[in-house]
Chain A
Amino acid sequence: EAGVTQFPSHSVIEKGQTVTLRCDPISGHDNLYWYRRVMGKEIKFLLHFVKESKQDESGMPNNRFLAERTGGTYSTLKVQPAELEDSGVYFCASSHDRHPGNTIYFGEGSWLTVV
Chain B
Amino acid sequence: AQTVTQSQPEMSVQEAETVTLSCTYDTSESDYYLFWYKQPPSRQMILVIRQEAYKQQNATENRFSVNFQKAAKSFSLKISDSQLGDAAMYFCAYRSALNSGYALNFGKGTSLLVTP
A interface residues, Cβ below 8 angstroms from B: 3-4, 33, 35, 40-45, 48, 55-56, 58-59, 91, 98, 100-101, 103-109
Q: Which residues of A contact B96 (CB under 8 A)?
A: 100
Q: Count residues of B near A (Cβ-Cβ below 8 Å).
A: 26
What DSSP secondary structure best describes chain A's contact surface? loop
Q: Which residues of B contact A40 (CB under 8 A)?
A: 108
Contact check: which of B43, B46, B103 meets A45 at CB < 8 Å? B103
CB pair B45 A106 closer than 8 Å? yes
Min distance, Cβ B106 to any Cβ of chain A, angstroms: 4
Q: Which residues of A contact B109 (CB under 8 A)?
A: 42-43
State A105–B108 Cα separation when bound (angstroms). 19
* Top 4 A-B pairs, shortest CB-CB distance: A45-B103, A43-B106, A106-B45, A108-B44
Contact with A along B18-40 (1 / 0, CB 8 A): 00000000000000110001000
Min distance, Cβ A13 to any Cβ of chain B, angstroms: 21
**Known A42-B107, A101-B52: A106·B37 in contact at CB below 8 Å:** yes
CB pair B106 A42 closer than 8 Å? yes
Min distance, Cβ B113 to any Cβ of chain A, angstroms: 18
Q: Using CB atoms, name the residue of chain A closest to B47.
A: A103
CB pair B33 A4 closer than 8 Å? no
CB pair B106 A101 closer than 8 Å? no
Q: Using CB atoms, name the residue of chain A closest to B93.
A: A43
Given A42-B106, A55-B101, A100-B95, 17 new contacts (CB under 8 A): A33-B103, A35-B104, A35-B106, A40-B108, A41-B108, A42-B4, A42-B108, A42-B109, A43-B106, A48-B103, A91-B45, A98-B102, A100-B33, A104-B104, A106-B44, A106-B45, A108-B42
Q: Which residues of B contact A59 (CB under 8 A)?
A: 103
| A-B contact list, 30 entries, CB within 8 Å | A3-B44, A33-B103, A35-B104, A41-B108, A42-B105, A42-B107, A42-B108, A43-B106, A45-B103, A45-B104, A45-B105, A48-B101, A48-B102, A48-B103, A56-B100, A56-B103, A59-B103, A91-B45, A100-B33, A100-B97, A100-B102, A101-B33, A101-B52, A103-B47, A104-B104, A105-B44, A106-B45, A106-B46, A108-B42, A108-B44
